């Protein structure tokens, strides 16, 4: 029997796992108590890593689409066809005719991250899409304009704070996002045990809300007004504290002036939260020695995502809790993206390029994912003619997925790198079967820069590749070489990791790949410490509290308040939710994760259910501007009246190697979400707050 230690790379929590195995036979997967970040915690998904490894229905050889369905082909043929198609289409229509969509697992895979840059360089396309713009783009936009670099994202110092206000996040289920915080349940409990307080503001009484001291319902998409009035209270009550950042800020006067017109009384009408409550939360946070406001998905995937994340930062700064123990802090990762792409300069909103069709901003050089369909459909220079989809499932993950699927018919070529035949990859001409989970080596480049404690950890692959598959980075490296007409130089991710560690903050202390290999549980680099002043990337080394982009966007917010919110055709606002035993659209094949009662239900408040005349278990018809679905209703006072909730990630059928079965009892929320609803400031999709009608069948 052997024991292997690694980091689970399914989600952002970075849990250390301990795997006991005899050869390729897994005996157990448990939490690794010696992992310095996760301290033994895991969730049910880690155990399913073995299912994904052995799953007979995973892709095990390259596939080519023919008139009679998919056939297995050689790697040589798959590379040859794909390279020739890309070059021919770029020759005929221009470089940008070939688009790339990068899905979420890329962020959890060092090979993909390291080999993507040269791949893009060889491809020279500006048609780049990713899951970032259906997720966290507002966080990057706030970071760019306020701190000068899109990857300077603050994380809550959970282990030291005494007051945690959570808006639009459900870390007890998601295990934390834009904050690698494994063992979250214990960490939240510890806040309360040391006399601290947790408040959750969410249109649903979530699993996290149930464990908090207080939960307040908020009307979807009204958070920006709530935040403005929280800042209003700090200013009006003379509670602004800047601490060590006092000499490093610009824009305070603008903030003081603009929040005047957002008193809690006004916010009460819009958010549904009582003015006294808003005042008391702001004052409690001002009085707490260490307090932090944490905002996530529910705030970044709504119409005012950019404003919400900006105001979250402004509140934390004005409350004296930015770059300070117990507040919002900045990790100092061993591989620091800032070292490799320093920005020093003033990002000018006017210079952010715009997308071709809808003229949405292209932050991080990406066209918003909500525009994927229209960029394919709309004729003219720059029209997309081919799509390369790497570890993504946009048919299920972007708003109005059906429109994306329909648009695929217009493409002349699609290639996907995936581990499964999916709702997206089934449309591909060529599918490259990739490795995942236990077959890859991993150093987490993305999420160690978002971890609530500084650590470094390297995990070698546990098992050899199963079947005729390749690592994503091998696929990318080979395509890169062929597009360039060069020999593949045969670099490995480890070569880059070693180099990056050598240039990193801990190289002087001897941190190297070799040292990490000798420490399979990972190396603790200590708690987060104030470091923002050293890492700021603005040209004058100040934090910009009031960038023009946000000030201007306030007009859009004010206008939305003035427009009456009642829409008789679509009286309800739909929001999403995540489930503990599923990960986005791709884990449904694991029986241990999918068994049990149907969780794909529409949550609806008893008051609304009475009006419609439905009870739990009834099938209802849900309609939005773009589509309709039938789904089982779940009547519960967990959801606010006027709001309904459908889980994301469903609509995924049972996968097999050559075909995909239609999903039973499983509907895609993105058959209802509207691709025209975006946060026009950041281009991020507004997946929450979608107007729907619910009818009895």
Note the residues at the interface with ligand MGD (CB under 6 A).
11-12, 103-105, 109, 131, 134-135, 167-171, 173-175, 177, 201-204, 206, 218, 220-221, 223, 296-299, 302, 390-394, 397, 417-420, 422, 434, 436, 472, 575-580, 582-586, 648-649, 669-670, 673, 687-689
Q: 3-class DSSP state for residue 74?
A: coil
Write each residue from 8 to 37 as x if it is in contact with ligand SF4 (CB under 6 A), else as -, in one continuous string. x-xx-xxx----------------------
In the complex with Mo ion, the residue whose CB is nearer, 298 or 547, is: 298
The least distance separating ligand MGD from the CB of residue 573, rounded to whole angstroms, comes to: 8
The least distance separating ligand SF4 from the CB of residue 586, rounded to whole angstroms, comes to: 12
The least distance separating ligand MGD from the CB of residue 130, rounded to whole angstroms, comes to: 8
Interactions with ligand SF4, residue window 129-188 (CB under 6 A) = 175, 182
Out of ligand SF4, Mo ion, ligand MGD, none, what residue 123 binds, judged by CB under 5 to 8 A for its kind, is none
Q: What is the dihedral of CA 247, 250, 253, 256, to 10 degrees?
A: -90
In the complex with ligand SF4, the residue whose CB is nearer, 38 or 82, is: 38
Closest residue to ligand MGD using C-beta atoms: 298
Residues belonging to the chain? 697
In the complex with ligand MGD, the residue whose CB is nearer, 455 or 603, is: 603
Out of ligand MGD, Mo ion, ligand SF4, none, what residue 422 binds, judged by CB under 5 to 8 A for its kind, is ligand MGD
What b-and-e string marks burial along 272-292, b requiring 16 or more CB atoms within 10 Å of the CB?
Answer: bbebebbbebbeebbebebbb
In the complex with ligand MGD, the residue whose CB is nearer, 225 or 500, is: 225
In the complex with ligand MGD, the residue whose CB is nearer, 101 or 506, is: 101
Out of ligand SF4, Mo ion, ligand MGD, none, what residue 46 binds, judged by CB under 5 to 8 A for its kind, is ligand SF4
Interactions with ligand SF4, residue window 181-240 (CB under 6 A) = 182
User: Residue 12, interface with Mo ion (CB under 5 A)?
Assistant: no
In the complex with ligand MGD, the residue whose CB is nearer, 11 or 141, is: 11
Out of ligand SF4, Mo ion, ligand MGD, none, what residue 673 binds, judged by CB under 5 to 8 A for its kind, is ligand MGD
- Measure the CA–CA gap between 420 and 661, rounded to whole angstroms: 12
In the complex with ligand SF4, the residue whose CB is nearer, 11 or 516, is: 11
The Cα-based distances of 678 to 363, 500, 550, 686, 690 in angstroms read 14, 36, 16, 5, 11
Question: Whose structure tokens read 């220079």?
Answer: 381
Question: Across-strand partners of 6?
Answer: 17
The least distance separating ligand MGD from the CB of residue 503, rounded to whole angstroms, comes to: 27
Interactions with ligand SF4, residue window 37-56 (CB under 6 A) = 42-43, 45-46
In the complex with Mo ion, the residue whose CB is nearer, 135 or 439, is: 135
Concatenated DSSP letters of 281-346? HHHHHHHSSS-EEEE-HHHHTSTTHHHHHHHHHHHHHHBT-BSSTTSEE----SS-HHHHS---S-
Stretch that binds ligand SF4, among 7-15, 340-348, 458-466, 625-633 (CB under 6 A): 7-15
The least distance separating ligand MGD from the CB of residue 254, rounded to whole angstroms, comes to: 25
Concatenated DSSP letters of 381-411? TT---EEEEES--HHHHSSSHHHHHHHGGG-
User: How far is C-alpha 47 from the chain's CA centre?
Assistant: 22
Q: What is the dihedral of CA 505, 509, 515, 518, to 10 degrees?
A: -120
Q: Is the dihedral of CA 382, 384, 388, 392 positive or negative?
A: positive
Out of ligand SF4, Mo ion, ligand MGD, none, what residue 167 binds, judged by CB under 5 to 8 A for its kind, is ligand MGD
Structure tokens at 83: 């390279």
Stretch that binds ligand SF4, among 6-14, 280-288, 322-330, 547-555 (CB under 6 A): 6-14
Question: Whose structure tokens read 């892709």?
Answer: 59
Out of ligand SF4, ligand MGD, Mo ion, none, what residue 433 binds, judged by CB under 5 to 8 A for its kind, is none
Out of ligand SF4, Mo ion, ligand MGD, none, what residue 126 binds, judged by CB under 5 to 8 A for its kind, is none
- Measure the CA–CA gap between 506 and 627, rounded to whole angstroms: 52
Structure tokens at 494: 């480890």
For 59, half-sphere exposure in the C-beta direction (CA atoms, 13 angstrom radius) is: 31
Interactions with Mo ion, residue window 108-137 (CB under 5 A) = 135
In the complex with ligand MGD, the residue whose CB is nearer, 408 or 506, is: 408
The least distance separating ligand MGD from the CB of residue 208, rounded to whole angstroms, comes to: 7
Residue 661, classified by CB atoms within 10 Å of its CB into exposed (0-12), middle (13-18) or buried (19+), is exposed
β-pairing, 453-456 vs 523-527, is: antiparallel
- Measure the CA–CA gap between 603 and 609, rounded to whole angstroms: 10
Interactions with ligand SF4, residue window 580-619 (CB under 6 A) = none
Interactions with ligand SF4, residue window 257-296 (CB under 6 A) = none
The least distance separating Mo ion from the CB of residue 73, rounded to whole angstroms, comes to: 33
β-pairing, 643-647 vs 601-604, is: antiparallel
In the complex with ligand SF4, the residue whose CB is nearer, 70 or 447, is: 447
The least distance separating Mo ion from the CB of residue 135, rounded to whole angstroms, comes to: 4
Closest CA to 341 of 317, 324, 365: 365
- Measure the CA–CA gap between 600 and 305, rounded to whole angstroms: 26
Out of ligand MGD, ligand SF4, Mo ion, none, what residue 223 binds, judged by CB under 5 to 8 A for its kind, is ligand MGD
Concatenated DSSP letters of 467-485? SS-B-HHHHHHHHHHHHHT
In contact, 49 and 86? CB cutoff 8 Å: no
Q: How many residues bind Mo ion (CB under 5 A)?
A: 1
- Measure the CA–CA gap between 160 and 242, rounded to whole angstroms: 19
Structure tokens at 235: 């200013």
Binding positions for Mo ion, rule: CB under 5 A: 135
Binding positions for ligand SF4, rule: CB under 6 A: 8, 10-11, 13-15, 42-43, 45-46, 175, 182
């Amino acid at each position: 029997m052997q024991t292997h230690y690694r980091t689970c790379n399914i989600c952002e929590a970075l849990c250390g796992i301990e795997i006991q195995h005899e050869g390729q036979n897994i005996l157990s997967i448990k939490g690794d108590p010696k992992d310095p970040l996760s301290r033994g915690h895991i969730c049910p998904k880690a155990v399913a890593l073995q299912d994904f490894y052995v799953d007979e229905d995973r892709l095990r050889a390259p596939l080519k689409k023919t008139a009679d369905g998919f056939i297995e082909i050689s790697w040589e043929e798959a590379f040859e066809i794909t390279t020739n198609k890309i070059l021919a289409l770029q020759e005929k229509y221009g470089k940008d005719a070939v688009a790339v969509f990068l899905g979420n697992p890329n962020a959890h895979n060092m090979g993909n991250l390291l080999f993507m840059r040269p791949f893009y360089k060889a491809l020279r396309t500006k048609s780049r899409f990713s899951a970032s713009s259906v997720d966290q783009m507002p966080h990057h936009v706030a970071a760019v304009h306020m701190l000068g670099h899109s990857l300077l994202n603050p994380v809550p110092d959970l282990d030291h704070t005494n007051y945690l206000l959570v808006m639009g996040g459900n870390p007890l289920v998601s295990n934390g996002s834009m904050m690698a915080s494994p063992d979250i349940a214990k960490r939240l409990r510890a806040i309360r045990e040391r006399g601290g307080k947790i408040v959750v503001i969410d249109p649903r009484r979530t699993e996290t809300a149930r464990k908090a001291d207080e939960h307040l319902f908020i009307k979807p998409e009204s958070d920006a007004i709530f935040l403005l009035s929280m800042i209003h209270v700090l200013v009006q009550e003379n509670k602004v504290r800047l601490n060590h950042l006092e000499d490093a800020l610009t824009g305070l006067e603008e903030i003081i002036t603009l929040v005047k017109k957002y008193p809690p009384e006004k916010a009460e009408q819009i958010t549904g939260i009582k003015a006294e409550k808003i005042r008391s939360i702001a004052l409690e946070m001002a009085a707490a020695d260490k307090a932090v406001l944490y905002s996530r998905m529910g705030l970044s995937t709504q119409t005012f995502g950019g404003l919400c994340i900006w105001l979250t930062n402004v509140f934390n700064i004005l409350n004296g809790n930015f770059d300070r123990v117990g507040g919002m802090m900045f990790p100092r990762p061993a591989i620091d993206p800032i070292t490799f792409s320093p920005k020093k300069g003033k990002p000018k909103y006017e210079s952010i390029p715009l997308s071709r069709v809808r003229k949405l901003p292209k932050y991080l050089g990406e066209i918003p994912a909500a525009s994927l369909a229209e960029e394919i459909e709309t004729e003219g220079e720059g029209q997309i003619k081919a799509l390369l989809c790497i570890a993504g499932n946009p048919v299920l993950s972007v708003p109005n997925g059906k429109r994306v699927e329909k648009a695929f018919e217009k493409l002349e070529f699609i290639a996907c790198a995936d581990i499964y035949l999916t709702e997206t990859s089934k449309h591909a001409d060529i599918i490259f079967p990739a490795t995942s989970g236990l077959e890859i080596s991993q150093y987490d480049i993305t999420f160690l820069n978002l971890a609530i404690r500084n650590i470094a950890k390297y995990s070698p692959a546990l098992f050899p590749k199963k079947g005729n598959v390749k690592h994503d980075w091998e696929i990318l490296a080979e395509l890169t070489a062929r597009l360039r007409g060069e020999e593949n130089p045969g670099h490995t991710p480890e070569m880059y990791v070693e180099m990056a560690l050598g240039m990193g903050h801990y190289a002087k202390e001897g941190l190297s790949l070799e040292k990490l290999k000798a420490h399979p549980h990972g190396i603790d680099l200590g708690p987060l410490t104030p470091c923002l002043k050293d890492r700021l990337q603005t040209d004058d080394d100040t934090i910009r509290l009031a960038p023009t982009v946000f000030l201007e966007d306030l007009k859009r917010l004010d206008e939305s308040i003035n427009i009456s919110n009642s829409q008789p055709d679509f009286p309800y606002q739909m929001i999403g939710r995540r489930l503990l035993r599923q990960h986005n659209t791709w884990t449904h094949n694991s029986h241990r994760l999918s068994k049990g009662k149907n969780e794909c239900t529409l949550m609806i408040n008893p008051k609304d259910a009475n009006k419609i005349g439905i009870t739990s278990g009834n099938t209802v018809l849900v309609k939005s501007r773009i589509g309709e679905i039938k789904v089982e209703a779940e009547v519960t006072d967990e959801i606010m009246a006027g709001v309904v909730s459908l889980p994301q990630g469903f609509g995924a059928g049972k996968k097999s190697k050559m075909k995909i079965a239609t999903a039973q009892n499983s509907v895609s929320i993105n058959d209802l979400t509207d691709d025209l609803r975006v946060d026009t400031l950041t281009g991020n999709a507004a997946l929450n707050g979608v107007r729907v009608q619910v009818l009895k069948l």
